[in-house]
Amino acid sequence: MRLLCIALLLTAPALGCAVARSEKGGEDETGPYVVVDTWMKPFAQPGYIQGSQGGVLAESADRIFVLNRGELKLPDKLPDAFNGAWGSLGQKASDATAELRNCILVFDRYGKVVESWTQWDHLFQGGRGPHHVRINPYDPDRHVWVVDDNRHQVFEFTNDGKSLVMTLGEAGVPGHDNTHFARPTDIAFLPDGTFFVTDGYVNTRVVKFDKTGKALMTWGTPGKGPGQFNLPHAIAIDAGRRVYVADRLNSRVQIFDENGKYLDEWRDIRRPIDLLITMDQHMWIADLDTNKILQYDLNGKLLSSWGTYGLFPGAFWGIHQISVDAEGSLYVAETWGGRLQKFTPKPGVPRWQLIGAPQPLTHRSAG
């Protein structure tokens, strides 16, 4: 029996199953993590609350970028079920009318706002607020990139938020040419500064740019076939320079080479909405419909999954972006629930079950 137990422990990563729990009962709703309850400290003006949470990016354990889609006015009388997030009022935070302020925030490890880039709130007026946030992992200056789907633009900021370095797209003007987007969703980078934008809700394409912002090529048309999309919502690149696109409404992830050549696809992923490839070359996918976080190897084999729908701490309603800091803490932005939750690893959890370290924000590779 002892040999059997050892064998099960050794093969658990390959089988994609969790190591048996020693205590009785429980559903293991938060997987290998423990939720940090009420982590996000209130920052909205009196009578208001944070809106839909578009994105999160943990640059470090004490510098977590959050895309807040404005502030929502609370009703005069709050229900007993109110938990500090708009979703507990029974409405999706993304469906409520927000006042667009405090759109880009930076939090410390304790959930306190340490920076608010209010000087850029005007960029999002007339839309619904920012959509995804990324930092080029090869950029020594760690510029912050923000995608605004509703206003059809992509912004590059200095790391301190004092300067706007580059703007792609025309505010409020959708288009299908090389200088316009129609509701873009996400961005990913190669070591030489080349980057890719999923131009997603309307244009259903991927646009490849050089490091100066010049469009080099596009691929993708509406449809269900190889290289076609129905809402390309997220994009990631592995160490072999393969490009992964979350084809959200086609319930799949498609894989391409860096010039748009179709290579493969992973089907039957209900609503992939965010992609994260970690240093150990595992793919982590957030599923909007099932409210789960899924772990795959880069051959598309499902290794593990966890998460559940709910408004209680640790559950999800509409995951939109995930990020992990260098200490292993996980951050999850909810577009519908209107929450930003933090999770820390459970003691003694096997390393393979945890979302791996993000790509290092160090030097730019030559080339």
Range 190-208 average pLDDT = 97
Q: Total structural domains in the chain?
A: 1
190, HSE (Cβ side, Cα atoms, 13 Å): 19
pLDDT digits (tens, 9 = 90+) for 215-266: 999 999 999 999 999 999 999 999 999 999 999 999 999 999 999 999 999 9
Per-residue confidence (pLDDT) for residue 22, from 0 to 100? 58
pLDDT interval class at 21 (50, 70, 90): low
Per-residue confidence (pLDDT) for residue 26, from 0 to 100? 83
Average pLDDT over the chain, rounded to whole? 92
Side chain identity, residue 229: F
* Residue 14 covered by a domain: no
Q: Could you list the residue range(s) of the whole structural domain that residue 248 is in?
A: 27-43+127-353
* Residue 146 covered by a domain: yes
Helix (H) or strand (E) holding 203: none
Q: Are 51 and 93 in contact (CB under 8 A)?
A: yes
* Residue 85 covered by a domain: no
Per-residue confidence (pLDDT) for residue 23, from 0 to 100? 73
* Residue 107 covered by a domain: no
CB proximity list for 26: less than 8 A, separation 6 or greater: none
Which range among 6-10, 300-304, 315-319 shows the weakest confidence by mean pLDDT? 6-10
pTM of the complete model: 0.92
Return the DSSP state at 12. Answer: H
* Residue 111 covered by a domain: no
* Residue 65 covered by a domain: no
DSSP string, 332-367: EEETTT--EEEEEEPTT--GGGS--PPPP--PPPP-
* Residue 267 covered by a domain: yes
pLDDT interval class at 360 (50, 70, 90): low
* Residue 120 covered by a domain: no
User: Residue 39 maps to which CATH number?
Assistant: 2.120.10.30
Q: How far apart are alpha carbons 53 and 333 in whole angstroms?
A: 5
Q: How far apart are alpha carbons 35 and 99 in whole angstroms?
A: 29
pLDDT interval class at 4 (50, 70, 90): very low
* pLDDT at 1 exceeding the cut of 50: no
